[in-house]
Amino acid sequence: QYLNDDPTVAGGILRLAFHDAATRECDESGTSYTGGPNGSIKYEVGWSENRGIARPLRVVQSIYDNTGVNDMGLSFADCIALAGAESVEFAGGPRISIKLGRLDSSEADAKKRRNVLQGSTDRSLVDTTLPSAGLDSDGLRLYFGALGLSEKEFVALSGAHDLGRHVTLLDMPKSCLKDLTRECLENAP
């Protein structure tokens, strides 16, 4: 019903689900993980990578609080994952089965990666658990590769998680237009 009432929120909810899950990081042994789909996104709203996430978060929080989902024993993290899958289907994508049983975090996930990744350029430095808007193609490959995604999968996800969202260059300072730095992209109007 929430998506029928405001279809423009579908892309934001999908982005919310991705940003909640994508902070997952494996240790060097490959056996232990930190972060991930645990509802911690509600503590990470102020991160520059999460700009614009507050509105879809309010929608999912309202679903969680007002539909009896929490009375059924589902975690807030499960609610985020289910809402993300529903957004994909609502937008004409495939039905995605969601395994339940996530545990809710009581704090933000780590913003800085334990295992920093670096490609061949300055803009390929991956030192945060969410991708920076200023990453170049090498940095994006490194980031999404660390999540186990192929190039084809990360291109599809990058396009899909911005469904219905845009950044305008109309009010961007000319100095930023001449040199699209990480700071300019993250602070775009």
Active site residues: 19
In this structure, how many other beta carbons lie within 10 angstroms of the beta carbon of residue 184?
18
* Phi-psi region at 52: left, alpha or beta (left = phi > 0; alpha = psi -120 to 50): left
Q: What is the DSSP string of 17-76?
A: HHHHHTT-EE-TTSS-EESSSSSGGGG-TTSGGGTT-HHHHHHHHHHHHHSSTGGGT--H
- Exposed, middle or buried, 73 (CB in 10 Å: 0-12/13-18/19+)? exposed
Q: Tokens standing for 47?
A: 């991160």
Q: Tokens standing for 97?
A: 């089965």
- Exposed, middle or buried, 158 (CB in 10 Å: 0-12/13-18/19+)? middle
